[in-house]
Amino acid sequence: MNKSFKGINTICTHVGEVKDEQFKGAVSPIYMSSSYAFEEVDVKRYPRYFNTPNQEALSKKIAALEHAESALIFGSGMAAISHALMAFLKAGDHILLQQTLYGGTYNFAVTQFEKYGIEYSFTEGWTVEDFEKKIKPNTKVVYIETPSNPLLTITDMEAVANLSKQHGLISMIDNTFASPVNQNPIDFGIDIVLHSATKYMGGHSDICAGAVAASKEHIHTIWESSICFGGSLSDQTVWLLERSLKTMGLRVKAQNENAQKMAEFLAYHQDVDAVYYPGLGSHPDHEIAKKQMNGFGGMLSFELKEGIKASEFMKNLQLIKPSMSLAGVESTVLLPVLTSHSLMSTEDRAKQGIKDGLIRFSVGIEEVEDLITDIEQALAQLKSKKVLV
């Protein structure tokens, strides 16, 4: 990374470009070859080895964005998470995971670790004390997610990082909900940063990718396992992701502003029972979020008043789309019970506080007035139907 580059938008735009030496094009050329020379070359390149020209360049951009020494890109967020975890865990080891997690990560832990003789525990909460009491002699990795999916809980990254260092543990974080624009965990002592790059890094709901950023030593350890697992990303998608990252700073800033306004609107709405957003002063972890975040993100969740069916409300939306993923420029909503956390049991969702009517709201870049109008008309339709009944 060029140390003179300070601004997030400058890094997004310029770091990690592939220079077009032949035609001097303004954007990175794309190298689609899956076969490269092996004699009289400095690097023996192969897509599964994460070292094609486009793969290498994009990894530099992601490392710069996360204030890391190095990075790797993968075919999905879960590929990044699973490759990183399996690189540091073996039979007989123990991993400690935060209670509030993305459903896919939770499902990976409960369905896969036992096959490999890896022990795992979930904390009862997300304070540093919750982690400390669950550490075992054979614990090797501490895994957190903040803000968490879907309840936007906030974990004190510095406290967890310090605890991990005291016990000689590797600390990992899923930084997807924050994005590198809003949060840089390495600055707080976290060892390994993970992303579903499908989300804010991609930002347009049209690619699937994952990323890991860390020290050169930790990335090399992950690389040694990952070349065996084969979860690399195609150069076509690598190029698209690099293109998308150029506008991430602008997109996320707009989404931050919109989400704050939408959270404040919903918090005082007569038909809303609860709002989960770290930018609200009423959020129990608001002060921790202020300490470690540059912006509070574009994600929030809310619950409607009893008697208002969330599924019917979403059917009446005209602008905001009921959709499976998140972090695109368009606003979307979903029910975690049917999507992101559907693989969890009812009991385990209840432990996390995920109610059947919880709505996860990924706020896009539309005008807030239009989003408010859409929510109001959807609720009005439900009320009119009740009157008719």
| Enzyme catalytic residues | 48, 102, 174, 199
Asked if the peptide bond before residue 150 counts as cis, ω within 30 degrees of 0, the response is yes
Distance of CA 58 to the CA centre of its chain: 18
- 163/116 Cα distance (integer angstroms): 26
Cβ neighbours of residue 252 under 8 Å, at least 6 residues apart? 179, 181, 182, 200, 295, 297, 298
Look up residue 261 and give its two tokens: 């306004």
Strands 192-196 and 170-174: parallel
Q: How far apart are CA 383 and CA 389, in angstroms?
A: 10
Q: Say how far apart CA 92 and CA 81 lie, in whole Å.
A: 20
Alpha-carbon torsion angle 50, 67, 153, 313, nearest 10: -60
* Residue 104 identity: G
Cα separation values, 69 from 11, 212, 214, 323, Å: 15, 11, 6, 35
A 10 A CB-CB count for 25 gives: 11
In what order do the strands lie in the sheet containing 299-304?
272-276, 299-304, 359-362, 332-334, 321-322
Specify whether the CB–CB gap between 290 and 300 falls below 8 A.
Answer: no
